[in-house]
Amino acid sequence: MLSGLSVRNVVLIEALDLDFDRGLTALTGETGAGKSILLDALGMATGARSDRGLVRSGTDKAQCTASFTLAQSHPAWAVLEDHELDAERSEDLTLRRTVNSDGRSRAFVNDQPVSVKLLSQLGGLLLEVHGQHDGRGLLDATTHITLLDQFGGYQRELEDVREAFTARRETQRELDALLSLQSKAGEDREFLEHGIAELDRLDPREGEDEKLAEERRFLQGAEGALSELTAAQDALGEDGAFEARLSTALAGIERLRTKFGDGEIAAARSLQSAAEALERAMLETQEAREAVSTAAQNFDVEPGRLEDTEKRLFALRAAARKYDVPVETLAQKRSAFAAELEAIDTVVLNIEKTRKRAEQAKADYDKKAEILTKARQAAARTLDASVAIELPPLKMERAQFKTDITQTAESASGADQVRFLVSTNPGTAIGPLDKIASGGEMARFALAIKVALAGQNNAVMVFDEVDQGVGGAVAAAVGKRLARLSEHAQVFTVTHSPQVAACANNQFRIEKTSTGETTTTSVTPILDTDREEEIARMLAGETITQEARAAARQLMAS
């Protein structure tokens, strides 16, 4: 329920602090006293469209604060949790809005800054205003489906559709992703198959790049090395002349050793050392010649070997640049291409499996949506009959009310569009409620619907001039229905009818006063002891007669 409203500098209201109680509250006063300003202030606090025109002349800012006492199960709490806003369910929920004279606006929930959009979302859960100039309530056709669903009470069917829609959406997303992959698979397949074939022909091996680079460096220097080795061979001689000279020298030494013997004298020992050195020289010369010959053979490479090595090395490096990988990972790239190609082949199988799942999910959704549609159609017939019963006492005996259900795009709430249609006079075409009904008729239609929906409402309800154009017994019928409705929810009514005001549990009088060049609107609670006088004033006008007081007592007692 709306427990309090605080208003500062809104049009003619300078400062206002009001506390409200449960049941039916009547807002009364002379025409032009400012009842609409009070509703504008309430709308401002709950996120309705507001502009700088609401700022009281001579001030720089208007501010409105509305406090609500809510049940712990009220859906507004879930919205606060979704937006990570601090809130204690045991305390009041406070909505505050400021509008500056330059048009800038700020919104707060429990003194925490929020967007006006979020404030409006919460306001839509907390407050319904039914009247000619408010875009909320029944004028917002998007609320009609919610009202019908509240009336129908088929929560299990709604939940089934929500679950089926989630499954349908998820499987369709999977299928769309696979189809998107398949759409580019043709180009990918061609690229992958070409890459695999190219790498198969190239047949890169691990470490090959390093070995080829080393071999290329060797081959590039092999020709010069071979020239040096050939010169070394020439120096050592291939005809044995060098060994012959060593042999002749050794023979001469041996003859001297024979002549002088192997004595202990130094000369004899030197001959022995010379002979041994010559023998070693002959042996090592032969080894050197063989080693140089072997080296020369190793550096004597085949013609074209360098060209072949460079061709292979450059081919590997070109492939690495093409596929943007290091040369040593070309073999791994081939394996990766093969895996991608296999994945593309698997996509086709996955598409078929996922398509079957998506088709099954859609069939399941369609089935559950159809069940929900039938439940809505049955509820619509019952609602139409219930509203029809309420219309004659509200002086709308010739009016028609019809809940129209048409098919629309599938959603989490089903595939139905619900709109309330009315005809206010015989012979006139039935059409949308917001296009056909006048302000007073709109409020009375809303009252009839809400009475039919009694007990199915979480929001505070405001009926703006629901008694417009009626009086006497019809006004009394309006008052009684408002009172009946207030047994299940807090209800406010802006009224000029004493019959309606007499049915209220609480009453506030709205007055406009002028002092010099200043005009202000005030709102005063009327105590039970004074309500008879106020209702008598509404009956009699400026001069209150005893007859008017007696009539007021009778109205309040009935």
- State the pLDDT at residue 68: 95
- State the pLDDT at residue 527: 86
Domain ranges of the chain: 189-339
- State the pLDDT at residue 106: 95
Q: What is the dihedral of CA 20, 26, 28, 31, to 10 degrees?
A: 110
d(CA 528, CA 504): 11
- State the pLDDT at residue 268: 65
Q: For the chain, which ranges sit under pLDDT 70?
A: 131-137, 184, 186-187, 213-243, 257, 259-268, 290, 292-307, 437-440, 455-456, 469-470
- State the pLDDT at residue 518: 82
Pairing of strands 506-515, 491-494: unpaired
d(CA 405, CA 408): 9
DSSP 168-214: HHHHHHHHHHHHHHHHTHHHHHHHHHHHHHHHHHH---TTHHHHHHH
Q: What is the pLDDT of residues 160-195, one digit of tens each?
A: 999 999 999 999 999 988 888 777 676 677 788 888
Those residues with Cβ within 8 angstroms of residue 334's Cβ, 6 or more apart along the chain or in another chain = 195, 196, 199, 200, 204
